[in-house]
Structure 1
């Protein structure tokens, strides 16, 4: 369900994560539309991690009042603007009534999503990511010591979103398909290497857009696109 302050594009992204991206009637016209998709995908992952952080802080998940052992409780969300290489995005930060919750994946005064964080989030959506891969990415997103159980719970929160997106049904025919790649410099085995996240976006016969797939490769090449 869309949140109160969601933009139409971000509300459509939430539907995509539930397998209903085809209901989004916004056409891909240029790179600006692609950037909007990237921002919304990042915001969904970050908000999922923040919601699970709040569960950890309070000791019970939303609506699970039977396991509530604290006099603290959730108090809605506040919005925060984050700067990314794809433009500014709004994310919802959960609040508690006592003001004791301190976000960790997006810290209190942090207003920039680093390129390394962007690469890890987009990799989660790429085809073939395993539970271990996603858990490793989530661990690297936190630059503080955090327990294995907390990472596992956050991974469990994120994994269904990623898996549902990876396994959702596609249309049989697309009128137009856009192919592009986003390049990142990442640290691998002590070296900085360049990797590409390949993106395929289709417009179906009704004019609706659909992200067909995302694939991680070493670099952009005709051979990789052909495969």
Structure 2
């Protein structure tokens, strides 16, 4: 790598202050693109062993694409082989977001009611990374079926202890007004002593009807008895 691409004075200052060298404004951020492309080249070298070469498989150019990372956009050039058998792991085929943590953060923000536009603005502001609404929707669409399956899964018939608690937060409604929402968590310990998050429920208001719906859902999913139920200041709990 060209030494001129690295601001060593800035790197030393960030190292002393504990700042991330590879962060958005990190001194070593320019190295990331070089590292990723070098790793891809190494993968191709390992893939094209003597057996592959003897069968006629060779390098066949490169394919360039922009990949989003939590440190900003990088351009990677994925090597290709003639028979198309190369499957890179550093940056996988059709992968446009490198850090799984970014996908997790998008999902968490979406689950809390953040709009795709606000999510995109957040990543542009915090990580110097532009994510389109289509990209965000593709991520959330990928996991929503898994979330639905998890929410409807069958539970054990008996739990020794269950805790019911809530996390309150602010979101914007359809008219742009700040409103309060709450995620209610039901955590249980089964007969084997293992903890299990039985369910998460988003509510606009709390009361007896809400808790009746929660208990009905648990019953429909197989729960028949809870020996000890711990609640703390929950309104309308029966």
TM value normalised by structure 1: 0.41
**Bigger Rg, structure 1 or 2:** 2
> Which has the higher relative contact order, 1 or 2, with Cα contacts under 8 A spaced 6 or more apart?
1
TM value normalised by structure 2: 0.39
